[in-house]
Amino acid sequence: MPGLGTTTIRISNNANRVRIEPVVYIGRKSLMLVHACRLLKYQKRRGISSLWSLRDTYLETGGGPVAPASSGTRAAHMPSEESAVDRPIKQPKMSFYKRELPSPPSIAFSSEQGQGIFQDALKEGMLKGFFSLIEQFRTQDEPSFCGLASVAMVLNSLAIDPRRPWKGSWRIFHEQMLDCCIPLETVQKEGITMSQAACLARCNGAEAQEFPFGSVTESEFRDMVKESCSTSTFHLIVSYSRKHFLQTGDGHFSPIGGYSPTYDAVLILDTARFKYPPHWVPLPQLYEAMKYVDPTTQLSRGFLKVTAATVLHSVLFALDVQQTSHWQASQDYLQGTLPKILKNSNGSVRDAAVAMCMSIPEDMLHQVIASRVSNAGCNQGACVQRDAVDTLLTEIKVVGLYQDILEKTKADTASDAQGYTNEKRLMYILMCEDVIVDIAASMGWSQSAIDELKRYIDTTPYKVVQHEVMYLREQYKAIGTQYI
């Protein structure tokens, strides 16, 4: 390559055209000035006998205008600096194949030393959570998706049902599905904060506790790491700065996969596997790495404790516990109307179940069971996910009792205009199954008839419906005996 400040020239001759490309090397940037002229006309008009004299003339003038020629000779003229086309060479976009993991302070998981630390953690029983996490270990889809990938990985390891499809008929969490708390376009540009990661976990069936730096001591953090690594019932996601470990970049999220008491080291299951492999880091340094300030929030980072919720939040339906007057009407139905229907069932379990559904007063039904408003946004775990609602309604349509209700009402589709009346009829009966069974027994039903009723309204094959019913039952129990 020419030295700094050197000028070189490249001349190409194509038929009757000449192209002169002087390149001046100035530091890291090169300035290319391209001039084109017609060879024959230029030679005749400017009195230049050859391409080489043209080159020499150009270099003598420093690439600027040519000085007037001596008397009797027409002045050779080159385009002025003002007419030159300034075209800086565009620097190529660099790509990278991984980064070398700075060691120390980190120790690569697959290294000989890393394997030794793993064996120690395994011997000490501090890898119980590792195996459920490693089953779901993934590489983040975007450079800024470390938070989304970490949350998706933990939700899947806790065996939480997304209740909406990922691809085809399969349900599993993926980064692209975690869009209820913050738009994916924003995450792609800016990443997420610790509070937003917690919000995403709560909205998708988990309980998430936030622990900003300083809320626990290093010793307390170590105890929580030990507890999480000795069980698979919950996991920790750390939000920290890579800078503390001499790594490129800054803010990052990763699940903790294990702990070695002998080395006091934590296993970072880094979801940015295109950059760094999983690695061990000293726990005291990880604690200090959470101290770095997040420029978005201007607060220190921290970690999340993520646990599967005992009962998944409902997708669409919930009991209205704000108003209490309608619960008296519900009690009148259960204690008055329902026993009469079961007593006069004439031995047909199916007819009795349909009669129970159709006899529920509609006004009371809509007051007791409310439906969530679509696109209501996120409220720390109470957002409406339309895809999950569609999955619920699809499953409801294949429940035998619901199909019989449709036949009875001559309706062929679920209708928002109806306020989900038939869906609520089904949900009410399923919610009150235990009460109905007790009343049937008191009305003299045989055990075989009761078992047949249970089979008829069984929702075990329909997981999303089952989760919805479980949520309603928990609410139902929480109301107590005052109104029921």
Q: Which residues are catalytic?
A: 146, 252, 270
Q: Dihedrals φ, ψ of 392, to 5°?
A: -60, -50
Strand extents, DSSP E, 105-173? 107-108
Burial code (b: 16+ CB inside 10 Å, e: under 16) for 26-64 equals: eeeeeeebebebebeebbeebebeebeebbebbeeeebe
Nearest by Cα to 226 from 137, 351, 136, 129: 129
Side by side, which strands form the sheet with 206-212?
107-108, 279-282, 265-268, 251-260, 234-241, 302-308, 206-212
How far is 363 from 351, CA to CA, in rounded Å? 23
Q: How far apart are CA 208 and CA 186, in angstroms?
A: 22
Q: Is residue 306 within 8 Å of 208, Cβ to Cβ? A: yes
Distance from C-alpha of 98 to C-alpha of 278, rounded to nearest angstrom: 13
CA dist 221 and 211 (Å) reads 10
Instruction: Please choose, from the candidates 140, 154, 127, the residue with its C-alpha nearest in 3D space to the C-alpha of residue 191.
Output: 140
Q: What sign has the CA pseudo-torsion 295, 298, 301, 305?
A: negative
> How far is it, in rounded angstroms, from Cα 342 to Cα 432?
14
Which amino acid type is present at position 451? D
The string of DSSP letters for 379-407 reads: SSS----HHHHHHHHHHHHT-HHHHHHHH
Sequence-ordered list of residues with C-beta below 8 angstroms from that of 413, at least 6 positions apart, any chain: none
Which residue from 77, 73, 208, 68 is spatially nearest to 147, judged by alpha carbons? 208
- Token pair for residue 325? 């007057």
Hey, CA dihedral for 443, 447, 453, 459, is it positive or negative?
positive
Angle at 57 between CA 74 and CA 52, to 5 degrees: 105
Handedness of CA 359, 360, 364, 365 (dihedral sign): negative
DSSP-based three-state secondary structure for 366: helix
